[in-house]
Amino acid sequence: MEDLVVHVPDGFFNVAVSVSAGVVAAAGVAVCLRGARRELDDRTAPMAGLVAAFIFAVQMLNFPVAAGTSGHLLGGALAAILVGPYTGVLCMAVVLLVQGVFFADGGLTALGINVTIMGIVTVLVGWGVFRLVSRVARGKGGVTAAAFLAALISVPSAALVFTLLFWIGGTSPIAVGTVAAAMGGVHVLIGIGEGVITALTVGAVLAVRPDLVHGARGLAKPLELREAGGATVTVGAEERPAPAPGGLRPFLLGGVGLTLVLAGVVSFFASSSPDGLEAVAESKGFLHKATDHALGSWALGDYGAAGGIPVGIAGVIGVGLTLLIAGIVAYAARNRTKVRA
């Protein structure tokens, strides 16, 4: 069996739960395809493709969180804050689809479970926490702090939903309280890393292009324009003209360049320790339930290990695939008539 890299594999859940989660995931994606029209236009659609590709790349960078255990970015909160909750779910679904089909990371029968847990749950929890905290914490610093807390809380929330689903329809009996404590504990540590990565990323984008951070809308102060007669007209942030298209290209190119470096170079230095889910599954005695991925022998399986491809090259290919597919989805879902400020 190939290594259990980061996501739920085939074999962990029975047919009923797998199908039910697939229905939930499909319904969620369908709703978000319609809802994304409120968040996407010709200017912001490229940002969605970049966010999805960035999350794919950073998910390859497992970091140590405890003795013999590693973690990685989930990205749901980050996607929701940068491009909006509806578009965030679409970004996560594309990432998980590319990983599951092309890289044998996450089972094919478990794709609905992964989209539900890692996509829908993390986005909903992350966006909800972010909105609550950002109402209290103001300014760019408040947005960054809210991003940290949103990401931190989203990770153990997803882990506990996994535990609940496994208790309902897992293929191995578990002591739900014990597994919940183990999953919650290790994923709180992973959540801290997730929070740091999310806060740094959101803070960096806020510093150079705050107009591209969906969660920071309304952060800018209204403009006061004085008319010839002396009257003052207030123009809200939503009514301001969008930046010139030429100003967006350097940001996008820089973002793609950074993403390629992360996937193509930094990925070689990722932690090789078992992921939090794998570590808990092994310690609690249900890791053996994971079955071989139907496409695990493809050249890109296990991020190139199955075909002898260096992980960096596999990562660059994955970034390209994710950027292409997410870009197509975003452009298809965008509002073609409205250009936002």
pTM of the model: 0.90
What is the CATH T-level fold of the domain 15-333, as seen in this structure?
A: Arp2/3 complex 21 kDa subunit ARPC3 (1.10.1760)
24-67 tens-digit pLDDT = 999 999 999 999 999 999 889 999 999 999 999 999 999 999 87
Per-domain residue ranges of the chain: 15-333
Residues 6+ apart with CB under 8 A from 131: 215
What is the per-residue pLDDT across 175-201, written as a single tens digit (0 to 9) for each? 999 999 999 999 999 999 999 999 999
Q: How far is residue 72's CA from residue 90's CA, in Å, rounded to a whole number? A: 20
- For residue 71, the SS3 value is strand
The Cα 64–Cα 62 span in angstroms is 7
User: Which residue type is seen at 162?
Assistant: F
Structure tokens at 77: 């909160």
| Neighbour tally for 34: CB within 10 Å | 10
pLDDT band at 160 (very low <50, low <70, confident <90, very high): very high
Q: Which residue has the tokens 């089972």?
A: 107
Please, are residues 123 and 145 in contact by the beta-carbon 8 Å criterion?
Answer: no
